[in-house]
């Protein structure tokens, strides 16, 4: 695996120093959300080709690829004016991605309200919410096709695309080679379900979405008050072997970005995952 880091989890340094530090820590790629990096602009009007080429030079100089250009906005916002601005933001990020060393423009899958509130599970999982999201994602994916850019959705158990079956349905209905999957195993797990059910959920995702999984997100969790607190890999209860075995056997050189690390534990989290990967590779070679 090519292991990367969520850039806003790295040390808060000037942009070019931040990239240099991430590379020196042994990472080969990043997940970047422009709005979370203080000395970068994320405004639609600023995302010009020149801006893209300038960023590309800096990433190339640091020997880093962009695994995910994050544009995690709500494509199911029912407010017409707000949704129009959101769609323009996606279009601007897609155009920018075409000038970058970038694998995918990534997004989660929203909730049918203006506040991105996922507490009403019935509304979030309704057929109406699914259809509205699908139709808006289809517009965005069509735009990405024109620029030769890949969109990738990240299913989350709280969101409209809450499991692998619904993600499979969405992929089949949009039917675009430019729509792929960001596989975040922890985000698919409902804290209220059993460990055995969690294993089933992850196995189902790897089976149903095998072809389209293009990026893996890796983090850990600690159970807290009937919920999960996200932490860096190796700091909690997550079992990674099946996931990493899937990557080793089915997805050679896939980009896998760490989440919820700190500047102090990022390297140890990377080394924890690499240790499991080496173990699995050794087993496969016997």
pLDDT at 197: 95
**Averaged pLDDT of the chain:** 97
Query: Is pLDDT above 90 for 285?
Result: no
pLDDT at 260: 97
pLDDT at 5 over 90: yes
In 117-212, beta strands by DSSP E? 151-153, 179-183
Q: Find out whether 111 and 164 touch, Cβ atoms under 8 Å.
A: no
Q: Per residue in 76-105, pLDDT tens?
A: 999 999 999 999 999 999 999 999 999 999
At residue 104, the pLDDT reads 98
Ordered by where they begin, the domains of the chain are: 2-285 (3.20.20.150)
Position 286 scores a pLDDT of: 79
Mean pLDDT of 38-54: 97
Q: What is the pLDDT confidence band of residue 284, given thresholds at 50, 70 and 90? A: confident
Residue entry with tokens 């850039």? 7
- Asked if residue 118 has pLDDT above 90, the reply is yes
According to DSSP, the β-strands at 102-107 and 65-70 are parallel
Question: Quick one: what percent of the chain has pLDDT higher than 70?
Answer: 100
The Cα–Cα gap between 286 and 283 comes to 5
Stretch 234-250: mean pLDDT, rounded? 96
pLDDT bucket at 186, cuts 50 / 70 / 90: very high
Q: Supply the pLDDT for residue 105.
A: 98
- Provide the 10 A C-beta neighbour count for residue 87: 17
Residue 134 has pLDDT above 90, yes or no: yes
Average pLDDT over residues 235-263: 97
> Which CA distances in Å does 84 have to 52, 75, 87, 140, 144?
23, 10, 5, 12, 17
What is the reported pTM? 0.96
Pairing mode, if any, of strands 227-231 and 220-224?
Answer: antiparallel
Q: pLDDT at position 226, please?
A: 84
């Amino acid at each position: 695996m090519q292991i990367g880091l969520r850039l806003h989890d790295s040390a808060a340094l000037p942009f070019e120093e931040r990239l240099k530090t991430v590379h020196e820590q042994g990472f080969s790629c990043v997940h970047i959300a422009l709005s979370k990096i203080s000395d970068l602009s994320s405004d639609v009007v600023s995302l010009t080709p020149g801006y893209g080429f300038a960023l590309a030079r800096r990433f190339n100089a640091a020997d880093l690829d962009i695994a995910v250009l994050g544009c995690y906005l709500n494509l199911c916002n029912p407010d017409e004016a707000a949704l129009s601005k959101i769609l323009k933001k996606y279009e601007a990020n897609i155009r920018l991605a075409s000038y970058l060393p970038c694998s995918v423009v990534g997004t989660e899958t929203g909730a049918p309200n203006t506040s991105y509130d996922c507490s009403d599970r019935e509304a979030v999982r309704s057929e109406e919410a699914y259809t509205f999201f699908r139709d808006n994602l289809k517009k965005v994916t069509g735009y990405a096709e024109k620029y030769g850019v890949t969109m990738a959705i990240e299913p989350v158990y709280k969101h409209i695309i809450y499991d692998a079956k619904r993600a499979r349905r969405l992929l089949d209905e949009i039917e675009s080679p430019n729509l792929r999957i960001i596989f975040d195993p922890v985000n698919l797990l409902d804290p209220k379900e059993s460990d055995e059910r969690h294993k089933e959920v992850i196995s189902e995702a790897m089976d149903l979405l095998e072809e389209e999984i293009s990026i893996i997100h890796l983090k850990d969790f600690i159970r807290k008050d009937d919920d999960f607190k996200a932490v860096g890999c190796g700091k909690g209860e997550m079992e990674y072997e099946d996931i990493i075995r899937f990557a080793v056997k089915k997805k050679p050189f896939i980009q896998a970005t760490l989440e919820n690390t700190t500047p102090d534990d990022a390297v140890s989290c990377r080394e924890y995952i690499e240790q499991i990967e080496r173990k699995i590779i050794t087993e496969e070679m016997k």
